[in-house]
Amino acid sequence: MTFENKLAFAQSQDQQDPLRHLREEFLFPKQNGAPFIYLCGNSLGLQPRTARNYVDQQLNNWENLAVEGWFEGETPWMYYHKELKSLMAHIVGAHPQEVCPMNTLTVNLHLLMVSFYRPTPGRFKIIMEAGAFPSDQYAMESQVRFHGYDPKDAIIEVAPRAGEATLRTEDILAVIAANSEQLALVLFGGINYFTGQWFDMPAITTAGHNAGAVVGFDLAHAAGNVPLQLHEWNIDFACWCSYKYQNAGPGGISGIFVHEKHFADTSLNRFAGWWGYQEQQRFKMEKGFMAEAGADGWQVSCTQVIPMALYHASLKIFEKAGFLGPLREKSLRLTAYLRYLIGEINSTLGFEQYKIITPSAATESGAQLSIIAKYNAREIFHALVANNILGDWREPDVIRLSPIPLYNSFEDVFLTAERLLHISKELITPKQ
Ligand SMILES: *Cc1c(COP(=O)(O)O)cnc(C)c1O
């Protein structure tokens, strides 16, 4: 890819972008009357313009049908999740019956570990990435303790080598192989929230299985960002949130994936609830839990119609885009353009003020760039916000910027770099 550090170049890229109109489907926050350049979709995706209509439709059903809404109306609540399942299946590369919208992410991590972390005195260890999102660390530690083991003995974290920011696949695979005798579970992020590194999910899955372990992924930063093939990669289970790359709103509903090879396994533990009961018999209200077939059998509580309506609005935009094929193509170019322009800023400044720790290979990264700012990191981040650029900040010195192919443009990326250079000159040069 050849890029130019010129506004006209960015604008010509936008003119050639077949997805450029999707931007109009989203609502941008404003400051002092001007919209932000929003590069924070890794944390909270923007609101689809249609979200309000989708919610309104359900509020109308509630108003007009009340309890009859469960079985009547255009989208009876009893079956509403099925409309989402077929769309979610495209996002993560699964069969519709392998996915289900339910609960929130950390809750689902726990529920899936109930089924898929079944430690024995001989096989009780979990391998995860060092520096995983804290909620995942807490979930795994508490599951380990729940089963009577000590996290210090049971949890093995794979860390980057000294002086490196990201993990080497060979090191992950080596740790898995070295622990094969006692390994119960490999539970990794798909993309690490801090570094933006996309792990080699198929290789980790194969290695985990060869070691006799179950393999699951937390896809909070991967689902809706990079193309996934959960079924084909033979991953055992996964879950994700919908409010980051999938724009379903704060606290949005989570999704789970359970590979179909596990559907017939009646030995799996579940924390059961009535909504996981066989759909046709559910309202007989009988004693003795019988799971619905597929991922739906992991549901616990009554389906969450309003959060699903929000997720639905966004998934329909993904459908319009043609899902992750076209989106990823644009995403690769957008993020590569940002990477190129950061390099230009360093050249103009004459030193490496900005160090991108996110791997550059397309197979190892998504939309996000994690950038260490050498001097005045915090001041620079605040100056970006003051200049209407919203990324996010991670202690101690990392600025995360994520151009999102659904709603960011090449011009957004150009203007971000232009303002960042200006800010850098103002804030750093006097202190050189
Ligand atoms: C965002 C994120 C979470 C958040 O979990 P919630 O239960 O939705 O609050 C958990 N894990 C990872 C890896 C995340 O990126």
Per-residue pLDDT reduced to its tens digit, 275-306: 999 999 999 999 999 999 999 999 999 999 99
Tens digit of pLDDT for each residue in 95-109? 999 999 999 999 999
* pLDDT number for residue 430: 47
The mean per-residue pLDDT over the stretch 124-148 comes to 97
* 187 and 72, same domain (yes or no): yes
* 408 and 291, same domain (yes or no): no
In a domain, 354, yes or no: yes
Closest approach atom of ligand 1 to CA 244: 1
Cα 327 from Cα 321, distance rounded (Å): 7
* 181 and 240, same domain (yes or no): yes
* 178 and 259, same domain (yes or no): yes
Cβ < 6 A, ligand 1 pocket: 104-106, 133, 135-136, 189, 193, 218, 220-221, 241
Domain end marker among 320, 342, 372: 320
Number of residues assigned to the chain? 432
In a domain, 432, yes or no: no
Cα 370 from Cα 415, distance rounded (Å): 18
Ranges 257-261, 332-336, 386-390, 424-428: which has the least confidence: 424-428
Cα 175 from Cα 314, distance rounded (Å): 39
> How far is the centre of ligand 1, averaged over its atoms, from the C-alpha of 429 (Å)?
38
The mean per-residue pLDDT over the stretch 130-148 comes to 97
Tens digit of pLDDT for each residue in 195-233? 999 999 999 999 999 999 999 999 999 999 999 999 999
* 246 and 272, same domain (yes or no): yes
* pLDDT number for residue 9: 98
Mean pLDDT score of the chain, rounded to an integer?
Answer: 97
The mean per-residue pLDDT over the stretch 17-22 comes to 98
> How far is the centre of ligand 1, averaged over its atoms, from the C-alpha of 106 (Å)?
6
Band of residue 405 on the pLDDT scale cut at 50, 70, 90: very high
Band of residue 429 on the pLDDT scale cut at 50, 70, 90: low
In a domain, 209, yes or no: yes
CATH (domain of 199): 3.40.640.10
Minimal-distance CA residue to ligand 1 atom 8: 105
pLDDT value at 432 more than 90: no
* 275 and 354, same domain (yes or no): no
> How far is the centre of ligand 1, averaged over its atoms, from the C-alpha of 225 (Å)?
15
* 392 and 249, same domain (yes or no): no
In a domain, 254, yes or no: yes
- Residue among 173, 208, 166 nearest 187 (CA): 208
* 336 and 261, same domain (yes or no): no
pTM of the model: 0.97
The mean per-residue pLDDT over the stretch 374-383 comes to 96
Contact between 256 and 281 (Cβ < 8 Å): no
Pocket test for ligand 1, best of 104, 140, 193, 394 (most atoms within 8 A of CB): 193
* 173 and 242, same domain (yes or no): yes
In a domain, 48, yes or no: no
pLDDT value at 53 more than 80: yes
In a domain, 431, yes or no: no
Band of residue 167 on the pLDDT scale cut at 50, 70, 90: very high
Closest approach atom of ligand 1 to CA 136: 11
Full domain range(s) for residue 298? 53-320
> How far is the centre of ligand 1, averaged over its atoms, from the C-alpha of 112 (Å)?
15
> How far is the centre of ligand 1, averaged over its atoms, from the C-alpha of 87 (Å)?
21
In a domain, 388, yes or no: yes
Pocket test for ligand 1, best of 111, 133, 192, 219 (most atoms within 8 A of CB): 133
pLDDT value at 126 more than 80: yes
Domain end marker among 295, 320, 345: 320
* 279 and 414, same domain (yes or no): no
Q: Give the 3-state secondary structure of the chain.
A: CCCCCCHHHHHHHHHCCCCHHHHHHEECCEECCEECEECECCCCCCEECCHHHHHHHHHHHHHHHHHHHHCCCCCCHHHHHHHHHHHHHHHHCCCHHHEEECCCHHHHHHHHHHHHCCCECCECEEEEECCCCHHHHHHHHHHHHHCCCCHHHHEEEECCCCCCCCCCHHHHHHHHHHCCCCEEEEEEECECCCCCEECCHHHHHHHHHHCCCEEEEECCCCCCCCCCCCCCCCCCEEEECCCCCCCCCCCCCCEEEECHHHCCCCCCCCCCCHHHECHHHHHHCCCCCCECCCHHHHCCCCCCHHHHHHHHHHHHHHHHHCCHHHHHHHHHHHHHHHHHHHHHHHHHHCCCCEEECCCCCHHHECCCEEEEECCCHHHHHHHHHHCCEECEEECCCEEEEECCCCCCCHHHHHHHHHHHHHHHHHHHHHHC
* pLDDT number for residue 1: 76
Minimal-distance CA residue to ligand 1 atom 14: 220
Closest approach atom of ligand 1 to CA 189: 13
Number of domains in the chain: 2
* 239 and 331, same domain (yes or no): no
> How far is the centre of ligand 1, averaged over its atoms, from the C-alpha of 134 (Å)?
8
List the structure tokens of 50: 């249609």
Minimal-distance CA residue to ligand 1 atom 13: 133
CATH (domain of 345): 3.90.1150.10
Contact between 309 and 59 (Cβ < 8 Å): no
In a domain, 414, yes or no: yes
Closest approach atom of ligand 1 to CA 106: 7
Tens digit of pLDDT for each residue in 337-370? 999 999 999 999 999 999 999 999 999 999 999 9
* 81 and 211, same domain (yes or no): yes
Domain end marker among 288, 320, 352: 320
